[in-house]
A and B are shown apart, each in its own frame.
Chain A
Amino acid sequence: MIARTFCLCASLAWLASSLHAAETRVWMSRKGGLLEAKLGSFEKDSVTLVKPDNQIVTLKAEELCLADRQYLVDLGEAPKSLITGGKADLVEKDYKPDKKSFQELEEKLTFSNPDAGSYTQLETPHFIVASVGRIRPHAVAETAERMWYGMAFEHMGFRKHWGDKRMLILLVGDETAHQGLCEYSISLIEGEEGRGSADESFNAEIYRTRWKRNGTNSLYLPDDLTAARKLQPVALVFNTTGDDEFKQPLSPYVVHVLAGRLLGNYMGYVSDYADQGYFAILTGHKYYKEIGLAGKSETNLLSVESTGQDVISSKSGFRDGSSWAKTLRELVRKGQVEPKLGPMLRWRLDELDPEKLVTIYSFSHYMQSDNQRLSAYSKLIRRIETSNQVPPPAEIAKIFGFDTVEQLETDWTTFIKEGDFK
């Protein structure tokens, strides 16, 4: 991973030994290049890094990922303006993962339930994408690596939090295998595979219904598999039967799912007594990435009504998935939609309508619309990750530099009406 070239407009030189002091760490550039080096110096807008072989790399600080710029600011080496200036980009758009780091494994992946299928495996630096059926894993693997890079770019703790374990993504293009995987998952949850027994509320029939209907499911892997393959404990299962959206990188639905999975993985769980807003933040992020990277939304959310338990309804934004911003802007200008943080954080899936869903999207877009806000957004996500709770509106306003929630709402509304809201 570290061996990849640090593709920067860097000048190479030898420097006096007095610079060789700070601790070695892995730096990431805007283009995704990684470099193991010590901080030599920061002067004006340039950073000098010292590689382990004492070679010197000098680069413009703005060429570093936002997370590394945050590191320099926290270290007291760089002014805060390094992370607050300029427009935020969706860096996943331009990032091209090194395909040489993608390796097709000879061994097939199988599970203890033979009906769950036999999968070809593509290993990338951070994922194993395994597929059965006609879909090849390469496009999803590229999307996953690009989305991973986006998270690492923006969030200082993401890389360390991810660690050295890969996430397993299963592309299941075979009905029998999909159903077999469902049964395998049930057996894991019910404890037949040694993960312990499920709680009393687990209902296998409802689980089967949801599994079949969902485009994506989670599979909690057994400990021996995660240990042997150095995998994260939860795998992502895409039902790829009959779909072509897995053939191209950055397709809307795959972006949506991966954006949510990576952010959710980083934030971790939240306590049920302080989870208000988790849904809005996560859902907004998924749609922001989907629309920003794929140009439109094609994703509907499925809602399972809590009373009937088998009544499933679909939730989506405005019908034209490419004109959400335009439609919401008009509604806000006419006063038909009023962005309010407190109520929005309380919205649940089952009460969503298109206006609410697009308002959620607009807030995520707002939070990531320039580097100053993106830096605050990163701080908000870190706060959720450490506290296991979503801060209340007054705290969110404070994190974004406002004294009151109303001030934040005014700024957000202005962004929708007059800003770069697309």
Chain B
Amino acid sequence: MKIHRLRLFLLSLLTIPAFASEEQKPAPPPAEAVTRDFRGTNGVVIKAAIIDKTETEAVLATRDGKRMKVALDNLVEEDRAYVKSWSKEEDVFLRKCRRLSIRQCLELRGYESFEFRFDGNHIMIDGKVNGKPARMMADTGAHTLLHDGFAKSVSLEVGPMTEKIYGVAGEQEAGWTAVPSFQIGEAVFKDRKILAADMNKDRPPGSKSNYDLLLGADFMNQLDGVISYPEQRIFFRPDRSDEDAAGGSTDFRLFKTKDGKVMRGKVVSKTPTVATLKLVNGRESQMPVSNFIEADQTYLNAWTEEGALFMEHCGGLSVEDILRLRSYQSFQIRRVPHSKHVYVDGTLNDHKVTYCIDTGAFNSLLHIDAAKRYGCDVGPMDQEVWGIGGVQPAAAVKIDKITLGSCVLTNRKLLAADLFRGDATDEDHGWIGLFGGDFMRELEAYITYTEDRFFLIQR
């Protein structure tokens, strides 16, 4: 029986020229490559894995090490579609780089990354304003804003309170403030003009704002921010483009040894103690890591094969690609003219609606009219919500179902308030509530301003 199968297999290989051409150097298929049956239009079947493709051909590798080019026209339609949907970058990523976190992927591309902590569901970052420690909160539902009391305490001059800002509880006065510098990690932002307002307005006795500076949607937009709830990190755009970063990391670089030797090369492999460099002249050189100067030792210790492969082969993968490969659902962020805020479509009790993505909302919040209109069980207005503008009454509402894609949140209670302060309806504004930190933490959200996408996973 075994022999019979082998013969059949050999027979199929022998007939390859009918729709494939063999490569010169046989090599085994890459480890863990997905092997499947490819069917030719002539009925021949080849068990192989796809390892590369062009517009017109697929490169297949069989388990016994043979590689062959197959014209797409010679494959049945189903297999042509498979080849068309196959991505080498995704394939390499899944086989070789899948353990890289989003943080690692972005940092490899030169993004600056900052760890944040949660204060409840708020995203808090420790930074500095005018050289003094400051508590910052990332708030995609707001504009960048200083607490006026804090501004004064760090010797900033708050201008006349002639501006108006609007929040969940109405409007409030604010004044422009020149901020010579504020700092997050090593990143310094100089000479900004930021509005300042009293963030403790109407707060109950004994309570006070938990932040000194709101990093708003304008800031996230400007720096192409990426917010990762599961990793508790915010990333900001690198100074150079992804392409430059990818090229730079795989290019040859200068290595210096402690005894003064200089060589140009790139790392091709590494053991815990020895690095193998491919030099510009094509030769390979092995050398103990400890022989290099400290900066190069740091580089070599941080070097990983997965990272190198990612930079070499997966440069075209977006954050969306990487998260999709990890079973995340991806949503297109919607924008509204003249607003930096971001929105996403979903449902409320099976009605199609749009939510504002608001990392500054401790809990998600509905507009009261929409809650009533879409079948929520709305309680009395005996609750309160605080935010920009102070305090305003709210009602507890029971919700049967909220969905975003296939993420389903059932049997929830939220608060509902007049989010538009009576001057317009949710239909005028085009959104019905705030999708807040509670849901984003539960569904391990990512937000990327670079790609205008929002990602969720329900475990």
Contacts and interface: CB of A to CB of B under 8 A. Distances in A.
Interface of A: 14, 16-18, 20-23, 39, 53-55, 74-77, 160-161, 163, 189, 191, 195-200, 268, 271, 273-274, 382-383, 386-389, 391-392, 394-395, 398
Nearest to B98: A76
A388 B104 contact: no
26 contacts: A16-B271, A17-B269, A17-B304, A21-B97, A21-B104, A21-B307, A22-B99, A22-B101, A23-B101, A39-B99, A54-B272, A74-B459, A163-B117, A189-B206, A196-B205, A197-B206, A198-B206, A271-B396, A383-B442, A387-B363, A387-B412, A388-B121, A388-B363, A391-B411, A392-B411, A398-B410
Interface in B241-283: 269-273
Given A23-B104, A191-B206, 16 more contacts: A14-B272, A16-B271, A17-B305, A18-B306, A20-B270, A53-B272, A76-B326, A161-B118, A198-B205, A198-B206, A268-B120, A386-B438, A386-B441, A387-B363, A387-B438, A395-B411
Contacts of B121: 386, 388
A273 B101 contact: no
A253 B218 CA distance: 52
Nearest to A25: B101
Given A22-B100, A53-B272, A199 B204 contact: yes
B208 A20 contact: no
B383 A273 contact: yes
A221 to B, nearest CB: 14
B201 to A, nearest CB: 15
Contacts of A389: 412-413
B415 interface: yes
A268 B142 CA distance: 25
A87 B326 CA distance: 30
Contacts of B304: 17, 20-21
Interface in B400-428: 410-413, 415
A389 B441 CA distance: 14
B206 A196 contact: yes
A199 B411 contact: no
B440 to A, nearest CB: 9
B327 interface: yes
A398 B408 CA distance: 12
- Which of A16, A23, A163 has the most CB atoms of chain B within a 10 A radius of its CB? A23
Interface in B72-112: 97-101, 103-104
A372 to B, nearest CB: 15
A23 to B, nearest CB: 5
Contacts of B130: none
Contacts of B269: 17
B376 to A, nearest CB: 13
A274 B442 CA distance: 17
Nearest to A160: B232
Nearest to A197: B205
A273 B99 contact: no
A388 B411 contact: no
Contacts of B208: 196
Contacts of B98: 76
- Which of A20, A53, A198, A382 has the most CB atoms of chain B within a 10 A radius of its CB? A20
A395 B410 contact: yes
A161 B441 CA distance: 13
B162 interface: no
A93 to B, nearest CB: 30
Contacts of A55: 272
A394 B270 CA distance: 54
Given A18-B305, A21-B307, A199 B205 contact: yes
Contacts of A161: 118
Contacts of A74: 459
B396 A274 contact: yes
Interface string B50-73: 000000000000000000000000
A199 B207 CA distance: 10
B185 interface: no
A133 B450 CA distance: 61
A394 B100 contact: no
A186 to B, nearest CB: 13
A25 B437 CA distance: 24
